[in-house]
Amino acid sequence: MRRTFRMPPKNVLRTMADHLRKYETLFTLTPQRMRMIVEAFTESLDVGLAKPDQIVPMIPTFVFGWPSGQETGDYLALDLGGTNLRVCLVTLQGNGKFELTQTKYRLAEEQKQDDGQKLFDFCAECLKTFVESNVGEGPGMLKEGQVLPLGFTFSYPCTQERIDHGELIRWTKGFGAPNTEGRDVAAMFKESLAKHNLPVQLTALINDTTGTLIASHYVNPRTKIAVIFGTGCNAAYMEHVKDIPKIANLGVPPDADMAINCEWGAFDSFEHEHLPRTKYDIIVDEASNKPGEQAFEKLISGRYLGEILRLVLCELIDEGVLFLGQNTYKLEKPYCFDTAFLSLMESDPTDELLMIIGIFTHFFAIETTLAERQFFRALAKLIGRRAARLSSCGIAAIVKKMGYLEEGCAVGADGSLYNKYPGFADRVHEGLQDIFGDKGRNIVTYHAEDGSGVGSAIIAAMTKIRKDAGLCLHV
Ligand code: BGC
């Protein structure tokens, strides 16, 4: 239990302003610093393409080239994300059009730590329930006896040897299910499917970013890069096979293109040489289930931003600056401060900051002064803005590497942070201009198509077309 009985500082207003200045220095990224990060980032991308098992693994996905937009048919998609499990039936209608029916299932925290095979059994059970309740006549329904191709969106870093294979390198986003790392999750899932005797065929294992890349290009062919800023963060783009030295021995035609799942959340992991980490970031990292790993993601993604702010608040409580004489034990629980609170605090439209009053009284039983609330809002802004500016460094690294700056490109973006955090996209764009000057305007992010559902279906369709045409799937 945390109680403080020190005397309140004489001029609270001034104290809060002083503190804010300190955090401004800690959390602000100058354009110069951003350019240095981009430099190091670009190098890591190259190293990841050159050699296997690098920090940024740059995973070849065996998704060959862009969709034609003419892919058609019914496909199932299963999406194991950071928070939910989603099952979709996607009907691709050609000309970039599609229909989608879906059901979401909530994943319990315990399931993320329970045995891996059990997690896949649960996925198969949900799929079975979905299939059974969607069999019937009419559009959006599955026909009795129909065997459907299934795209499995598994958004964790997996090394792939072919499209329906993926060895889990490591769990991210707080998952820790034992007996899964180092194993082929596609094979594990097939085992669960067999137990339930399901009329489906696992055609492709994909990452959410790869799905987003393909789905976004299906409807907007100017798209060259896809990014996810949600519970985790990552990017995918289309690479020339001749520029992926580590797969030179596979015999894929060098003039082919292949999507790369960057897994950029791992940038600067273990070495911590390039990213400006504050002491709060270091605590988040060291207290996590994967210390040292996902260094970039831990500064950016929705899983961590609330926790970073909470740690600053706890420090100020300890120093006797905040919530004098109040019982603050509710704020002491790790991860109790949701990143959604930062969004709400930043978008509070009232002079009195009533939304912030609500958050602190309702969730933490704490009274706040106006000066404190203004400080919290400013702090949220610093943390949210840093996340967006670091995100633009990642995008800039791919743009630079691929030479997309002059002609410009569209970047399909998805995830709760991108979609719901006020001003996130604007801050990413502002960051791109700080890095590239006026030309940064040529790079435009936009809300992507549903990659994990539609993208997964399109990739399953593309794979089926290749298979039917006798083209290589894994060479
Ligand atoms: C995972 C990626 C995923 C990203 C966004 C990261 O934690 O490692 O595979 O694309 O989250 O969901």
Report DSSP state, residue 274.
Answer: S
Nearest atom in ligand 1 to 294's CA? 7
- Residue 372 tokens read as 């404190």
Residue nearest to atom 7 of ligand 1 (CA): 232
Q: Are 455 and 155 in contact (CB under 8 A)?
A: no
Q: Are 461 and 71 contacting, i.e. CB atoms less than 8 angstroms apart? A: yes
Q: Which two tokens stand for residue 129?
A: 């329930």
pLDDT of res. 475 = 39
How far, in Å, from the CA of 263 to the mean position of ligand 1?
7
Ligand 1 atom nearest the C-alpha of 155 is 9
Q: Which two tokens stand for residue 213?
A: 């890349």
State whether the beta carbon of 61 lies less than 6 angstroms from ligand 1.
no
Ligand 1 contact, 208 CB (< 6 A):
yes
157 lines ligand 1 (CB under 6 A): yes
pLDDT along the chain (475 residues), means of 10: 50 75 97 98 98 98 93 93 88 89 91 94 94 77 81 96 96 94 97 91 96 94 96 97 96 94 98 97 97 98 98 96 95 97 97 98 97 97 98 98 97 97 98 98 95 93 87 57
Please state whether beta strands 409-414 and 443-447 pair in parallel, antiparallel, or not at all (unpaired): parallel
Written as six digits, the tokens of 423 are: 């001003």
Residue 259's DSSP bridge partners are 238
- Whether ligand 1 lies within 6 angstroms of the CB of 306 is answered as no
Residues composing the chain: 475
Rounded Cα distance, 457 and 92, in Å: 8
- Report the separation in Å between the CA atom of 172 and the middle of ligand 1, taken as the mean of its atom positions: 7
Count CB-CB contacts under 10 A for residue 259.
26
How many Å lie between the centroid of ligand 1 and the Cα of residue 282?
20
Residue 458 · residue 67 · CB < 8 Å: yes
CA dist 12 and 43 (Å) reads 46
Cα(209) to centroid(ligand 1), Å:
8
Pairing mode of beta strands 200-206, 72-80:
unpaired
- Tokens coding 336: 């109790």
Is the CB of 153 within 6 Å of ligand 1?
no
Give the β-pairing of 409-414 and 223-229.
Answer: parallel
| CA 322 remoteness from chain centre | 33
Is 263 close to ligand 1, i.e. is its CB under 6 Å away?
Answer: yes
Q: What is the dihedral of CA 366, 370, 373, 374, to 10 degrees?
A: -170
Q: How many CB atoms lie within 10 A of CB 178?
A: 12
Q: Whose CA is closest to atom 11 on ligand 1? A: 232
Tokens of 154: 């598994």
Q: Tell me whether residue 170 is one of the annotated catalytic residues.
A: yes
Do 37 and 390 meet the contact criterion of CB atoms below 8 Å apart?
yes
Instruction: Indicate if ligand 1 lies below 6 Å from the C-beta of 239.
Output: no
Q: Which atom of ligand 1 is nearest to the CA of 297?
A: 7
Burial class (CB in 10 A: 0-12, 13-18, 19+), 145: exposed
Mark whether 392 is an active-site residue: no
CA of 227 to the centre of ligand 1 (A): 10
Report whether residue 297 contacts ligand 1, using a CB cutoff of 6 Å. Answer: yes
Q: Which domains does the chain have, with CATH numbers?
A: 14-51+221-448 (3.40.367.20), 68-219+450-468 (3.30.420.40)
Catalytic residue among 44, 86, 121, 155: 155
> Can you give the pTM of this predicted structure?
0.94
Q: Which atom of ligand 1 is nearest to the CA of 82?
A: 12
Options 44, 86, 164, 170, the catalytic residue: 170
Residue matched to tokens 């299963």? 78
